[in-house]
Amino acid sequence: MFRSVGSKIIAVLIAFVMVSGLAGAAPAAYSVSSDVSDAFQLVKANSLVQKGLDFIKTDDQNTLYDQKIMTAIPSPPFKEKARGEYFKKRLAELGLKDVKMDSEGNVYGIRPGTGKGPKLLVEAHLDTVFPEGTDVKPVEKDGKIYAPGIADNDRGLAAILTLVRAFNASGIKTTGDIIFAGTTGEEGLGDLRGMKTFFRDHVDVTGSISIDGTDVGRVTYLATGSHRYEITFKGPGGHSFGAFGLPSAIHAMGRAIAKIDEVRPPKEPRTTFTVGTVTGGASVNSIAAEATMLLDMRSNSQEELLKIESQILGLVQEAVVDENARWNSDKISVVIKLVGDRPAGSQPADSRIVQVGWAATEAIGQQPVLSGASSTNANLPISIGVPALTLGGGGLDGRNHSPDEWFDPKDAYLGPQKIFTAILGLVGIEGVTSPLLK
C-alpha cells in the first residue's frame, strides 16, 4: 500500500507549523473556502445524511463480519479472482447497477445520480502481499483480530459494503454518480494494473477516493512514485577452478550493488532506493552464469525519480564494464527490465478535494491531518490530473504486511462515516447541495 511535489507545495507544507513536531501532523492553520464550509453545514444538517451516519454506526458489527469473511478468502498477488467474485456478488445483492468484473479483475458497480453531476470512484484494493498458501484464517484475541490482510486492505473492502448499505438505508439522492469498486494489483509487483485499466476505460471519471489504511484523521493527497527493475547479469559460467579467469555474473552484480550503495539521494523531496532481492549461481564451486536482483527506487518527485533512475542504471552498466575489464573479457552482459512503474503526483494543499477531506473529518468530530506523501492506488488518478484522496477505513491496525497483522475494531465506524460525508460533499445531494467535485 502506502509523486512530484512542486516547489509551491513544498513551500505551503513548510509554512505549516506542525503539531507535536511530527511530520504530517495537523497544521496550526488550515481553512476551507466558504463554499466548502457552507456545503458541509448543509450536509451535516440534513436528516437523511444523519440517518446514513447513524446506520453506519449501528451496522458496525456487520461491517466487521464482512471484513473477516473476505480476509478468509485468499487473494495473493495476481490471483484476486476468488475474492473478486465474492465482492461482485455482494455488490449485486446490494442493488448497484451494471455490476461487472473487467479484463483486469476489477469489480465495480454504479449508484447513479441525477445524470447532471460528476462521476466519483470509491475503491479499495482486492489483493494482499501474501503468497499463495498463506494461512489467512482470522483469529480473535484480546479484542483484536489477527490475520494476514485483515487491515490491508480487507477493512477498505468492508467499508465499501457498509457505505452502499448506508446509501440504501438513507435513501439519499445524489447529483453525481458513485462507482464503488474493488481493484486489483495495488500490492507488490501488481504495478497498479487495476487502476491503470480502470482509468483507461473510464475517462469520464472526475474524482477518486481510495480506502486504504485505518487512520480516520489522515487525509493523503500526495503520491510517492516508484520505479522497480529486474536486473539480470549474464556470463559464460564455468568451474571455479578449471575455468578460473572467466568473469562472473554474481561478481558483476556485486560491483553494481557496491556502486549503488554509494548514491546520495536528496532528503527533500524524499528519494530512496534499495536492492530488495538477489538470486543466482549454480553451486559454491561454479563461476556464476546468471544473477538477478530486484531494484526499488522511490521519490515524492517524478523529476528526482527519473534522475536517480538514470544515475543508478548508469552504474549498473559501469559494473558490467568493470567486471569484463577485470578479466580482460567481453562475456558479461546485463538485461534491465522495468517491472514496476507507479507515477508520482501532487495536488495543492488547498485544492477542492483536499478541503473536502479536511471538512469531512471535522464533520464527524475528528482532527484532520494532512498526511505526507504515500504510495497507494490514488497515485494513478493524481498523476493524470484527476483529483484523488486516500482515506482510512477506521479502527486501528499494526504489523501490516506481516503474518501477524492485526486489526482493532474500536470506533471503526468513524472511517466509513467520514468517507460517507466526503462522498456527499463531492457528488452533491439533489436539492440540498451542489457537487464540490467539478
pLDDT digits (tens, 9 = 90+) for 407-424: 999 999 999 999 999 999
Cα–Cα distance list, 248 to 31, 104, 320, 326, 365 (Å): 60, 40, 10, 10, 62
- Convert the pLDDT of each residue in 138-173 to its tens digit: 999 999 999 999 999 999 999 999 999 999 999 999
Phi and psi at residue 414, in whole multiples of 5°? Answer: -65, -30
Q: What is the pLDDT of residue 28?
A: 56
Residues in the chain: 438
Closest CA to 165 of 95, 99, 112: 95
Tell me, what's the pLDDT at 325?
98
Buried b (16+ CB within 10 A) or exposed e, 153-174: bbbbbbbbbbbbbbbebbebeb
Q: State the amino acid at position 269 in one-letter form.
A: P
By CB atoms closer than 10 A (0-12, 13-18, 19+), residue 71 is buried
Q: Distance between alpha carbon 242 and the CA centroid of its chain, in Å?
A: 51
Residue 6 has a pLDDT of 39
Under 8 Å CB-to-CB from 53, ≥6 apart: which residues?
166, 364, 417, 420, 421
> Hey, what long-range contacts does 279-283 have (CB within 8 A, 24 or more apart)?
280/233, 280/249, 280/250, 280/253, 281/249, 281/250, 282/237
Q: Which residues of the chain have pLDDT under 50?
A: 1-26
Tell me the C-alpha distance between 383 and 192, whole Å.
12
Question: What per-residue confidence (pLDDT) applies to 29?
Answer: 85
Please name the residues in contact with 404: beta carbons below 8 A apart, sequence gap of 6 or more.
Answer: 146
Q: What count of other Cβ atoms lies within 10 Å of the Cβ of residue 272?
A: 14
Computed on alpha carbons and rounded to an integer, the radius of gyration of the chain in Å comes to 24
CA 289 to CA 240: how far, in whole Å?
Answer: 11
> What is the grid cell recorded at 193?
494494473
Cell of 178: 458513485
Domains parsed from the chain with CATH numbers:
7-223+344-427 (3.40.630.10), 225-342 (3.30.70.360)
Place of cell 482470522: 138
Q: Which three cell numbers stand for residue 422?
A: 466526503
> What pLDDT is recorded for position 230?
98
